[in-house]
Amino acid sequence: MELAVEQHYEEKSKVQTKMENVLQENDRLLTQALSVEIVNIVVHENMKSICLNVTACARCVTTETELKTDFLNNECYDMLLRKYHTLEKHCITLEVNNQLNTELFQRDTPLTILQ
């Protein structure tokens, strides 16, 4: 009977040791899984942040390009408008000169015919 109790005690001790080993292994695996999960969360959040930054930069570049195009179009428009006004002034000057020449010619012509 003592031998049976002793064997039972040894088996119980072995089972407890195996249980402790299994619990320690489970704890190690759980810690490792949590560490991997934490790293995944951090990487995922950083990637979302990077993607947001890239998207924002892409929007900025597009907007900046549009502004440059608008600015160039504005510059061209302003330059063409200035040239138009200059040409308009020259045309008015030419018309006035032409009219004056016509009036002078008409004024001088009857005198020449009479002479």
68 and 78 co-located in one domain: no
Number of domains in the chain: 2
19 and 62 co-located in one domain: yes
If asked whether residues 8 and 49 sit together in one domain, one would say yes
Residue-range definition of the domain harbouring residue 49: 1-72
Q: Are residues 55 and 82 in the same domain?
A: no
Secondary-structure breakdown of the chain: helix, strand, coil percentages, each rounded to the nearest 5: 100, 0, 0
Same domain, 9 and 32: yes
Q: What is the mean pLDDT of residues 80-107?
A: 85
* Overall size of the chain counted in residues: 115
> Which pair of tokens denotes residue 47?
């990637």
Determine the pLDDT at residue 36.
77
Terminal-to-terminal C-alpha distance of the chain: 168
Computed over every residue of the chain, the mean pLDDT equals 77
Residues 46 and 57 reside in one and the same domain:
yes
pLDDT confidence of residue 89: 85
Span 95-100, average pLDDT: 86
Shared domain for 26 and 64, answered yes or no, is yes
Q: Confirm whether 114 is domain-assigned.
A: no
Whether the pLDDT of residue 97 is over 80: the answer is: yes
* Residue 37 CA: distances (Å) to CA of 23, 25, 28, 33, 67: 21, 18, 14, 6, 44
